[in-house]
Structure formats: structure tokens, C-alpha cells
Amino acid sequence: MAKNIKLIIGSTRQGRVGKQIADWFVTTAKEAGFDLTVLDLQEIALPNFDAAVPPAYMPTTTEEGKSWQATISEADGFVFVTPEYNRSIPGSLKNALDYLVEEWKEKPATIVSYGYIDGGASATKHLQDIFDWLKILNVGEKIAVQLTQDTFDEQGVMKDADATLSEYKEAFIASLQAIEKA
């Protein structure tokens, strides 16, 4: 049976480009036969994690936390779509990761980073450290989407998504196949 793979959109800011990038990868996955469920952290709007006891010692008690726990619990694997903010991942994604422990454990994942410096490679490096600690298994290929001043028009819309993103298609499909196999 196909795995329940969830794609997490890590950026939540107004005018973010992450949704456009994620949409292209979701469509590409669909064309290749993978039906990804999108978890948009902007929509999910998790409050800032503030539990008195770390989730490693006590399950989350808030309604939002319990709902997030159920969502991550039922997933078999993940695609993390993350921008690079100050050489790391955005706080919104870190916050979503911090809520849970067991629900991430031993699940296969892949990372799609993006950024202007080196395609968000530093964000991936930091995310990989978190994966190692939470025991999320990165089975994917390196996908670091290089943005340039020419990628978006004045309204912030990607001028030609295929031209910008097609070079990552093969690695992305291979990463999804690796998640399926894991």
C-alpha cells in the first residue's frame, strides 16, 4: 500500500514564495503517481510552543498540539519544504518540530530547501541536525532550489516555475521513491 506522505510547507510569512514552490512539487509528485498531503503551517497556525514539560516527557495537552500530534502520527513519511532564514530554518518550522518527539521517530523524509545564497543549503544542514536528534531518517537526495533576482516578477509570482524547478524533478521523484521503499 502507498505510504501516507505529508509535505510540510515551512514558511508562514505574508507574501511567502514557499507555497508556489511547494505547489509545483506537489503537482510533479502527482504526475508521477504520488498523492502527497499538504500540511501548510500558515493554515495550521500552531501557537508558539510553550509547554511546561518537554514533549519527550509529557504528551502535548493543548487542542492545537493534540491535533498536530494526530496529523503527524498518521504520517508514514515527510517532505519538508523550507526556506533559509539567517542561514537556518524559519522559526515556524522549528516550532512545529518542537511540539512532538515520538511521532517523528524513525520515519523517512526528504528536504526541499530554497534560498538566494546556495539554495538554502544551510537550512538543510540545520534541519539535518534536528532530524538526527529526532531520529527522522533523511532518505532523500539533495534538493536546494537556487532562487535569483530573476525568479519572480514584481508581484512575487514565479515567472516560469518549470524553468526554475524542472532540474530538481528527477531527484525529487527518486526521493519519494526512497520514502516509499524505506
Ligand X SMILES: Cc1cc2nc3c(=O)[nH]c(=O)nc-3n(C[C@H](O)[C@H](O)[C@H](O)COP(=O)(O)O)c2cc1C
Which residues contact ligand X (rule: CB under 6 A)?
11, 13, 16-18, 83-87, 115-117, 120
Residue 148: all three cell numbers together? 535569483
Quote the least distance from Cβ 104 to ligand X, whole Å.
22
Residue type at 104?
Answer: W
Given the complex with ligand X, which of 87 and 94 has the nearer CB atom? 87
Q: DSSP string spanning 56-109? A: TTS---SHHHHHHHHHHHT-SEEEEEEE-BTTB--HHHHHHHHT-STTTTT-EE
Quote the least distance from Cβ 119 to ligand X, whole Å.
8
Given the complex with ligand X, which of 111 and 139 has the nearer CB atom? 111
Given the complex with ligand X, which of 5 and 123 has the nearer CB atom? 123
Residue type at 92?
Answer: S
Select the residue whose beta carbon is closest to ligand X and give its number.
115
Quote the least distance from Cβ 182 to ligand X, whole Å.
27
Quote the least distance from Cβ 78 to ligand X, whole Å.
18
Checking phi first, is residue 39 left (phi over 0); if not, alpha (psi -120 to 50) or beta? Answer: beta
**Exposed e or buried b per residue across 62-73, where buried means at least 16 C-beta atoms within 10 angstroms of its C-beta:** eeebeebbebbe
User: Crossing angle of helices 169-181/18-31, nearest 10°?
Assistant: 70
Given the complex with ligand X, which of 80 and 85 has the nearer CB atom? 85
Given the complex with ligand X, which of 40 and 76 has the nearer CB atom? 40
Quote the least distance from Cβ 70 to ligand X, whole Å.
26
